[in-house]
Structure 1
Amino acid sequence: MTVYLLSIGLISILGQVILLRELNVSFYGVELIYLFALGIWLFWTAVGVIAGRRMALPSRHSPAVLFILFGMILFLDVAFIRSSRLIFGGVPGAYLDFFQQLLVATLSILPVGLLSGLLFQQTAGLYVDSGRTLAAAYAVESAGGLIGGLFSTLLIILDTQNLFAALICSIVSFATPLLGAGKSLGAFLRRTAIVLLAMFAGLIFNASPLHDISTRWNHPNLLDSSDSPYGRITVTRMFDQISVFENDALSFETEGTHAEYFCHLVMLQHPHPRKILILGGGMEGIIGEALKYRPDHIDYVEINPVMTKLVMEHLPESIRQSLQSPEVRIIYADPRRYLTNSGRYDLILVGMPEPSSGQANRFYTQEFFKQCAAKLKSGGLLGFKLQTAENLWTGPLIGRNASIYHALRSVFPAVLFLPGTTNIVTASFAPLPDTPDIMTGRLQHLQLETRLISDHYIRYLFTNDRFAAVKNLLNEKKDLLNSDIRPVCYQYALIIWLSKFFPRATLFDFSSIMEKTLLRYLPVCFLMVLPVLFLVSRFLPGLRRKILVAAAGFAGIALETILLLYFQLKYGVI
């Protein structure tokens, strides 16, 4: 039974990681799915344990049956998640209905969560019947969980395809009855496990084609796709347009003017940037636009090497040439860790994704802005972009942008917002342009070739009514600073995501609710009630056991959440 318990811990953790990564892609990289999916997993595991207690006494063959079922269902779950948008008639590039998403998460986690609970209850029962203790069973299963966690981390670090990891997990599940039961395993179960083991071992050699086939269910124009520690990168092509997706959300495409829009509206605010640092976004053409200013040197920091490796060969010739320019140095590192030991720059361009996740929020906090400020030369400039609605900002959008704005203002005395569907945000210790004349003069002097940016367009950005309106909105909203310790953008990301399904969610304001109601005292009340419960439970042994188990479970999940968030804050990846 020791082999069984070790394997239960291993496949439970590995299977959990596999399904969470698949659901993250299915939900377009919305990290909130992690908390929801973990809750579902724990619930169905508990249901499995309770159901196992109500069943007849476990036979020595019941764990073997459950291991075989687990291996088959895990692989089918991955296929179900990848095909869920087709099954529910989803529109390409759009979210499924909110309740359909919850249904997908529940249906995909239910069987394996239930089986993992049943497996532990049945195996632990046989383990105790052999003269061991339940505590020892928990210890062995936890050791297997540790192995599973280390193995999952290794697979992620090695950029292993998630489908390949699912096949490995299934193979471990099929092999466990053969190794753990030995000759005592029934003939039928032995043959079944051997046949499935051989089938899935064969599928491992075709994991890459299987991954491409299942990816084409959502991306029919697929060129290439690969999993990385930061998510799934997918490249598609339609005519001359190359589109790159991260966790199935569009990251960039090569026929638009986003790179030109961002780069020029920032760089025209600096008289002559000689040394430039670009943090992310170089694949979409920012470097090529920056080279038009004839800088002496450009450092481009890319957090995800898989992105460069996968996308480079499919990019247009002009973007490939800019990345291979002698003035450009590509550095693979986490941007925040790179800044701790970097030199100083005239200009820092932040091309990281929107602050809609913990991974991206790290590049819009007060601490990050302080890092950038320390690496700017005299008169240096920091620039980044924020996607918003062009004409109407909802409450959550105002709150999100204001929290970033005030974090920026706490570091830099001069901050400029150029409004549009993409807001261009710049900050410096030197004065920034407040009229279009400086920027239009530099554009005329440099005689840059552009498709969108022109004298008239720059004047339009400074003189339309949005320019003053946005400044007033940001200054009026005295919101909390977005920081590493208190990532205010998290709550707004939640509301913005919910508002896609429930528009009235934009009326919620968590910060004001907390300030104006007794909810802010909830943690204090909890800490006051907890000792009373423990005191009362001393006279009620049954209640005491339940409270201790509940407290241990709550503390474990709280600690796990804190560690996950800290790890993501530190290293930029879960």
Structure 2
Amino acid sequence: MDYLLGAEQIIHPVMWAQKMGKSVLLVGGLFAGAGKDILAHSPSSVDFPYTDSRLYSVALADFPHIRRIWEDKRFHPIRGDVRSFLRRTDKKYDVVFILPGVPLSGGDNRFWTQEFYQQVSSHLAEDGVVAVGIPVGANYLSPYQAELCAGILATFSAVFPNPEIYYLDGAVLIYHDRRFAGKHTELAERLLELLKSQKLRPVRAATVQPGYLPILFQPQRRTTLWREIAGAKFVRINHDWNPLIYIWGVLEQIYLAGVRLPADIFRHGEHRTLLIFLAVALALAILSLKKSLRPVGLVLVGGMWGILAQTLFMLVFQANFGTLYYLIGAGTGIFLLGTTFGSYCGTKFRRPSQAGIVISVTIIFLTTFLGYRGTFVPLWGFLGIFFLSGSVSGFAFGLASQGKISGGKLYAADLLGAAVGTAISLYVLPASSPLAVVAYLGALMIMSLVCSSAG
């Protein structure tokens, strides 16, 4: 089912249930016809923040229907990220439509987090409504789509309690009306009452004619949807600091491959990740008891950092920009360039404390970067992150090479750390948040610096 039908089936029922003259915030969905459908209900204004100016420049030149929407006086295109726009404005909206793409990328994921829904809530009028559209199969939810809908519903419910959810023909609609929050009155009932009293505003629509509403909102479809959602095994609230995009991506791939994954693997991920890193920290502490082996511990942790950080940031990069082999190759090359730079600089540090300050500042910056991923990060920003994360591993190797241990032994320790990092990445990265992984890795790195400088 084309998503155009899903957008149409979301916009018209929600707008039919509202009074005339409403201010609307539209997040995504313009190419699916959402702008045209909203304007058909005579709103007072439609604010549309957007980031890809080149895409819309082409659309305005080549697609007359987009140009007509753009030139409508009620339609207000706002260049810039919607989250940045909401931070700058105090405007309240009567209706908010959230229709971005499926959260398989970091760029789209920023519209599916609890933090974004909290932003929307602060800009919602006292009698305002929020509608979220999730494109799915017309009459069937795959296991991956069920997990996706369950996670988004849990995240939405954390901000907007007791939402309504409907299984439309090609989309799932999550709906919240502040006027009736916690009450029994539902969107479907109000629409059927308006249909019965012939008070629905006439609009030109391909699939959402008034007579189709009883079929679209029939109770059996909701029962089917709730049954599918109840079977989800990996439900967790989606955060900026703990994004689920990687888990959702893994689930999609394993379901397509027909693999049965143990349901327990993604539960309590942060606690298990902490235990793994505590075990590594214990091994590092034992290794540091012998003074001559302290540089080995430093390089060992540096090797772990090199693999885990490279894998982690590469996954985050792919989540934002897709699997583009030439960009991934460029990112890997810049990471190695950062490692080279760090190795050279590491030989210039006279004391581990000097390296500790530089590494600590770098790790804090990388952690902050992951923490603020709710805002879209440009390509050059990611390439800089690759360079910095590579330099941390290089600092450790360069600093340790100032001792009396041979280069061969240090290189062996580096490779051993890389092997350990590769092994635990198979479990740690899916189970834990990127922020936690970098924080634990950073703590290990600083601990190894302290151990190497002791005595």
TM-score bucket of the superposed structures, by smaller chain: 0.5 to 0.7
Query: Partner residue of 1:295?
Result: 43
Distance 1:354 1:443 in 2: 36
SS of equivalent to 2:289 = helix
Query: Partner residue of 2:315?
Result: none
Query: Partner residue of 2:441?
Result: none
Distance 1:271 1:510 in 2: 48
Contact 1:495 1:508 in 2 (8 A): no
Contact 2:240 2:372 in 1 (8 A): no
SS of equivalent to 2:55 = helix
Contact 1:403 1:489 in 2 (8 A): no
Distance 1:394 1:461 in 2: 20
Distance 1:554 1:322 in 2: 48
Equivalent residues in 2 for 1:438-457, closer than 5 Å:
438=193, 440=195, 444-457=199-212
Query: Partner residue of 1:336?
Result: 83
**Displacement of 1:297:** 1.3
Q: TM-score, normalised by structure 1?
A: 0.49
Distance 2:265 2:142 in 1: 14
Equivalent residues in 2 for 1:560-571, closer than 5 Å:
562=367, 565-566=370-371, 568-571=373-376
Query: Partner residue of 1:323?
Result: 70
Contact 2:284 2:297 in 1 (8 A): no
Q: Cα deviations across residues 166-201 of structure 1 (Å, max 9, x unaligned)?
A: xxxxxxxxxxxxxxxxxxxxxxxxxxxxxxxxxxxx
1:486 partner letter: N
Percent identity among equivalent residues?
A: 18
**Displacement of 1:472:** 4.8
Distance 1:552 1:493 in 2: 24
Q: Cα deviations across residues 190-225 of structure 1 (Å, max 9, x unaligned)?
A: xxxxxxxxxxxxxxxxxxxxxxxxxxxxxxxxxxxx
Q: Cα deviations across residues 504-556 of structure 1 (Å, max 9, x unaligned)?
A: 256656324859x96673233223323223334x3447845742642563586
Bigger relative CO (Cα 8 Å, ≥ 6 apart):
2
Cα distance change of structure 1 residues 321 and 393 upon mapping to structure 2, 3 Å threshold: closer
**Displacement of 1:365:** 0.9
Aligned length: 318
SS of equivalent to 1:569 = coil
Query: Partner residue of 1:410?
Result: 158
Any gaps of 5 or more consecutive residues in structure 2? Answer: 181-185, 313-362, 380-455
Distance 1:539 1:447 in 2: 82
**Alignment partner of 1:470 out of 225, 242, 257:** 225
Any gaps of 5 or more consecutive residues in structure 1? Answer: 1-251
1:322 partner letter: I
Query: Partner residue of 1:510?
Result: 265
Contact 2:166 2:222 in 1 (8 A): yes
Equivalent residues in 2 for 1:521-560, closer than 5 Å:
521-536=275-290, 538-540=291-293, 543-544=296-297, 546-547=299-300, 549-550=302-303, 553=306, 557=310, 559=363
**Displacement of 1:563:** 5.9
Q: TM-score, normalised by structure 2?
A: 0.61
Query: Partner residue of 2:255?
Result: 499
Equivalent residues in 2 for 1:161-240, closer than 5 Å:
none
Distance 1:445 1:273 in 2: 15
**Displacement of 1:438:** 4.1
Q: Cα deviations across residues 387-444 of structure 1 (Å, max 9, x unaligned)?
A: 2234443444333222211121121134122214311222232224243414635885
Q: Cα deviations across residues 314-361 of structure 1 (Å, max 9, x unaligned)?
A: 11x333212201111110010111112320111111221111112111
Distance 2:309 2:44 in 1: 52
SS of equivalent to 2:134 = strand
Instruction: Give the alignment's Cα RMSD to 1 decimal.
Output: 3.3
Cα distance change of structure 1 residues 513 and 331 upon mapping to structure 2, 3 Å threshold: closer
Distance 1:489 1:442 in 2: 44
Query: Partner residue of 1:15?
Result: none
Cα distance change of structure 1 residues 567 and 298 upon mapping to structure 2, 3 Å threshold: same
Structure exhibiting the larger radius of gyration computed from Cα positions: 1
**Displacement of 1:364:** 0.8
Query: Partner residue of 1:60?
Result: none
Equivalent residues in 2 for 1:369-448, closer than 5 Å:
369-420=117-168, 421-431=170-180, 432-435=186-189, 436-438=191-193, 440=195, 444-448=199-203
